């Protein structure tokens, strides 16, 4: 059903009533092939309004494979996800303003990205036919997740930091998962499929199955065997500064999508543990219990992000702030979060055990509030090795810490965080090695490290005495044209 190619007759709308109150869309991903009937979404609804391509097809029950079905699938998923986050964060506008543009099909590419102008989607070949990234609720809610996080933590946009960039990807995957959980039919299906044990591979944990299959056909080791990324995974924290810049999907690298899986895995494992810890019957949680815990966890993630300073070991700072935030929501959540973050080495045992003391520290809370608006320090890095004649000015993960949270090394010892400059240097080295930088005509052509046919996430901007590094976008990644 997912990839059936319709005939001309089928392309006609099944329902002719332009005033129909419902639309047909995919539940989570075309690869799952499960459809759901939903109320007609209002894209202009505030606070988080969208501008879709015009003219809009009349709302109706269209067949998969048609542009009209894709339009309403994207619209339904984005409205559902944005309404969820608007309430949770809360948000009164996007980082880009009152309205976020959505471009449903910009041409051939197995990709999607958020560039502070719009959510951008594409189409490309797969063994089962053409796939459209904008047709997957998983992918559209992932891209919207970038826009949501950018709207309440804009400092992460330009931070030259592996952990900040990877967390952006993780938050976007959490957005896809949490947006899916808002559908009662998904909750019921997942509880049945997993026998009530949520930390098992399921439609909920597997993200972007269809796009994953399309990428796998071109680059077999670039994605997981059954999807783009699976939130059920056993990756544990390693300092990304010391990781390889690229690795097969079965291994961890410092590449943001790869490294994001450490935090997403902890998030998903926490969700399952928190449901089991609070359900009336831990073996048979109800769909109401699942959505209630998922919404609590979303609020805890948001609180952690807001409180954490943008520093080189961002994962540990967010995790520690989440443990603190959880204590104010439900005591039973705290040991689950601590145990998960410690098991993933995102928090050292020392840091996890110190969160209670910090909980009582009024001074720390005050410092955290001050930190939120503190600008990131710009540092000029020597840049001759990148083929540049002037120093490269980058924003470093340099906000002040109210307290020190640490991740753990494989031997369980706390990891002393790298300096902001060391973290920034490692991140920028990887951008150049991965070909993610648009030189923008800066520097002599023969000295540049340019890779053709690679989507650029950053660009160089020449100023009088320095070259400045600017972020262009967050992409969904892993695909080379």
- The residue ranges that bind Zn ion (CB under 5 A) are 169, 172, 474, 476
Between 343 and 480, name the residue whose CB sits nearer to Zn ion: 480
Between 119 and 393, name the residue whose CB sits nearer to Zn ion: 119
Between 75 and 172, name the residue whose CB sits nearer to Zn ion: 172
CB of 49 to Zn ion, least distance (A): 22
CB of 221 to Zn ion, least distance (A): 20
CB of 239 to Zn ion, least distance (A): 22
CB of 275 to Zn ion, least distance (A): 26
CB-CB contact of 398 with 420 (8 Å): yes
CB of 260 to Zn ion, least distance (A): 8
Between 103 and 379, name the residue whose CB sits nearer to Zn ion: 103
Between 75 and 479, name the residue whose CB sits nearer to Zn ion: 479
CB of 257 to Zn ion, least distance (A): 7
Between 183 and 476, name the residue whose CB sits nearer to Zn ion: 476
CB of 141 to Zn ion, least distance (A): 11
Q: Which residue is nearest to Zn ion (CB)?
A: 172
Between 222 and 467, name the residue whose CB sits nearer to Zn ion: 222
CB of 86 to Zn ion, least distance (A): 20
Between 74 and 172, name the residue whose CB sits nearer to Zn ion: 172
């Amino acid at each position: 059903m997912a990839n059936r190619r319709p005939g001309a007759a089928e392309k006609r709308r099944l329902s002719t009533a332009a005033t129909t109150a419902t639309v047909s869309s995919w539940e989570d991903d075309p690869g799952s092939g499960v459809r759901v009937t939903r109320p007609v979404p209002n894209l202009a609804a505030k606070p988080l309004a969208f501008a879709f391509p015009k003219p809009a097809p009349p709302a109706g029950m269209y067949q998969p494979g048609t542009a009209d079905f894709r339009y309403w699938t994207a619209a339904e998923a984005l409205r559902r996800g944005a309404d969820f986050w608007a309430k949770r964060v809360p948000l009164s506008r996007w980082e880009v303003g009152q309205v976020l543009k959505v471009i449903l099909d910009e041409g051939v590419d197995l990709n999607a990205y958020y560039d502070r102008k719009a959510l951008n989607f594409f189409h490309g070949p797969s063994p089962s036919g053409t796939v459209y990234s904008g047709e997957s609720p998983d992918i559209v809610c992932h891209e919207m997740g970038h826009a949501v996080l950018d709207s309440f933590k804009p400092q992460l946009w330009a931070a030259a930091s592996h952990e900040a960039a990877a967390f952006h990807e993780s938050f976007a995957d959490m957005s896809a998962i949490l947006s899916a959980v808002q559908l009662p039919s998904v909750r019921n299906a997942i509880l049945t499929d997993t026998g009530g044990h949520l930390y098992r591979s399921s439609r909920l944990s597997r993200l972007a199955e269809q796009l994953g299959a399309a990428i796998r056909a071109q680059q077999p080791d670039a994605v997981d065997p059954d999807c783009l990324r699976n939130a059920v995974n056993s990756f544990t924290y390693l300092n990304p500064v010391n990781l390889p810049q690229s690795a097969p999907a079965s291994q961890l690298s410092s590449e943001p999508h790869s490294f994001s899986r450490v935090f997403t895995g902890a998030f998903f494992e926490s969700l399952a543990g928190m449901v089991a810890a609070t359900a009336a019957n831990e073996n048979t949680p109800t769909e109401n219990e699942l959505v209630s815990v998922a919404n609590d966890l979303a609020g805890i993630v948001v609180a952690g992000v807001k409180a954490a300073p943008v520093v080189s070991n961002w994962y540990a700072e967010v995790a520690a702030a989440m443990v603190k935030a959880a204590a104010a929501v439900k005591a039973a959540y705290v040991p689950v979060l601590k145990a998960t973050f410690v098991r993933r080495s995102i928090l050292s045992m020392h840091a996890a055990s110190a969160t209670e003391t910090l909980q009582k520290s009024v001074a720390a809370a005050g410092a955290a509030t001050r930190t939120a608006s503190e600008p990131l320090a710009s540092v000029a890095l020597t840049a001759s090795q990148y083929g540049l004649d002037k120093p490269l000015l980058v924003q470093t993960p340099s906000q002040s810490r109210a307290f020190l949270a640490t991740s753990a090394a494989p031997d369980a010892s706390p990891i002393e965080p790298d300096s902001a400059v060391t973290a920034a240097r490692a991140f920028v080295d990887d951008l150049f090695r991965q070909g993610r930088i648009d030189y923008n005509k800066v520097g002599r052509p023969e000295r540049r490290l340019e890779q053709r046919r690679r989507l650029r996430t950053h660009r160089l901007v020449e100023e009088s005495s320095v070259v400045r590094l600017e972020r262009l976008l967050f992409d969904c990644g892993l695909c080379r044209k």
